[in-house]
Structure 1
C-alpha cells in the first residue's frame, strides 16, 4: 500500500507540473522504476503514458474553457505529432537512443540560457505566422517533437512550450495550452504501440490517472490565475531540473 501511495503522490505532482509547463514524467517515471524495478521498462513507460494521457487531456480541456487555443496551429501539429510519435516508438526498437541521452543536456542548457536572457520572451501573445505558413511550421514542429517523444521522450512538453513561444510568438500561457493538445496526440500514439505490444499495467495506470487528473486541475488553475509570468518561472525551474537529471544520467552511462 505504501508503494501505491507513493505512486499516487508522484502522479498527482506530475499532473500538476505537466499542466503548467510539461515535464511531469521527471517525477512519475523514476518512481515507477523504483517501485517496480523488475518490470520491463517498456511496460512502465506504457503505464506512465496511460496515466499521463488522462492528466494532459484534462489540462487541455480546462485550458480550452478559459484560453483561446490557436487551433490552426494546434490541429496540424497534433496530427503530425501523432503520426511521427508512432514512427519514433517503432524506430527506438531498432536504433539505440544513446546519442540522444548525450546530446539532450546541451540542448536543454541552450533553451534555458536563451529563455533566461530574453526577459520579455513569451510575455506578450503576438503570433508571428498566419495561413499556410503557420500550418507548415506547426506540421514541422509537431513531426519533430512527436518523433522525439516516441523515440526518447524526456522534456517533450517543455520543448513544445519553448518552440511555440519562440517560433510562433505565443505567450507562455497560450503556448502551454497548445502544447497540451499536441501532447495528448503524442501520448495516444505511444499508447497504441504499447497496448498493441502488451506493455501496459491497466489497473495501476488507471489508478495513477485519477491522481494525475486531480493534479492537472490544480496546475491548470494556477497557470490561468497567475498568467504567463508564472508559467515562465515554472518553465525555467523544470528545464533546470531536466538539465541536472539528464546530465547525471549521461555521466553515469559514460
Structure 2
C-alpha cells in the first residue's frame, strides 16, 4: 500500500509538471525504479507510459479548449510524431543508444544557455510561418522528436517546447499546448509497443493514470492562469534538472 501511495504521489507531481512544460518522466520514472528495484525495466517503462499518457492527453484537451491551436499545422505534425516514435522504438531494437545518452546533457545545456541569453524568447506569440510551410516544419519537428522519444526519450516534452518556440515563433504557452498533442501521440506509440510485449502492470498503471490526470489538471490551470512567462520559468527549472539527471546517468556511475 505504501509503495502504491508513493508512486501515485510521484505520478500526480509528474502530471502537474508535465502539463506545464513537459519533463514529468524526470519524476515518475525514478520513483518507479526506486520503489520496484527488482522489476524488469521494460515493465516499469510500460507502466509509466500507461499512467502518464492520460495526464498528457488530458492537458492537451484542456489547452485545446483555452488556447487557439494552429490545427492546420499541428494535425499533420501529430501523425508525423506517431510515425517517428514507432520508427525510433524499432530502431532501438537494432542499435545501442549509449552515444546519445552521453551527448544528451550537452544538448540540453546548449538549450538552457540559449534560453537564458535570449530573455525575450517565447514571451510573445508571433508565428513565423503559415500554411504549408508551417505544416511541413511542424511535421519535421514531430518526426524528429517523435523518433527521439521512441529511441531514447528523456526530455521529449522540453525538446518539443523549445523547437516550437525557436523555430516556429510560438510563445511558451502555445508551444506547451502544441507539445502536449505531439507528446500524446509519441506516448501512444510507445505504449502500444509495451502492451504488445506484455510490459505493463495494469492495476498500477490505472492508479498512476488517475493521479497523473489530477496533477495535470492543476498544472494546466497554473499555465493558463500565469501565461508564457510562468511556463518559461518552469521550462528553465525542468531543463536544469534534466541536465543534472542525464549527466549523472551518463557519467556518474
1:75-128 CA-to-partner distances (Å, cap 9, x unmatched) read 111101101101111111221111111000000000000000111101110001
Counterparts of 1:56 and 1:72 in 2: how far apart (Å)? 21
User: TM-score scaled to structure 1, two decimals?
Assistant: 0.98
- Answering whether residue 60 of structure 2 is matched by residue 60 of structure 1, we say yes
1:35 Cα deviation after fit: 1.1
Map of 1:70 onto structure 2: 70
Which TM-score applies when normalising by structure 2? Answer: 0.98
Inter-partner Cα distance in structure 2 for 1:70 and 1:201? 36
Q: Is the 8 A contact 2:74 2:139 kept in 1?
A: no
Matched residue, 2:34: 34
Q: Residue deviations 1:181-239, cap 9 Å, x none?
A: 00000011111111111111111011100000000000000000000000000000000
* Counterpart residue number, 1:92: 92
Conserved in 1, the CA contact under 8 Å of 2:73 and 2:131?
no
Q: Give the number of aligned pairs.
A: 253
Does the 8 Å CA contact 2:10/2:27 hold for their aligned counterparts? yes
Unaligned regions of 5+ residues in structure 2, if any?
A: none
RMSD, aligned CA: 0.8
Distance 1:140 1:184 in 2: 17
Cα displacement (A) at 1:37:
1.1
Q: Spell out, residue by residue over 1:142-169, the C-alpha distance to the aligned partner (whole angstroms, 9 max, x if none).
A: 0100000000000000000000000000
Alpha-carbon deviation of 1:2? 1.0
After TM superposition, give the deviation of residue 252 of structure 1 in Å. 2.7
**1:246, 1:221 → 2: CA distance?**
29
Structure 1 residue runs of 5 or longer lacking an equivalent are none
- The answer to which of 89-98 and 171-180 deviates more is 89-98
Which stretches of structure 1, 4 residues or longer, exceed 2 Å deviation after superposition? Answer: none
Task: Look up the match of 2:81.
Answer: 81
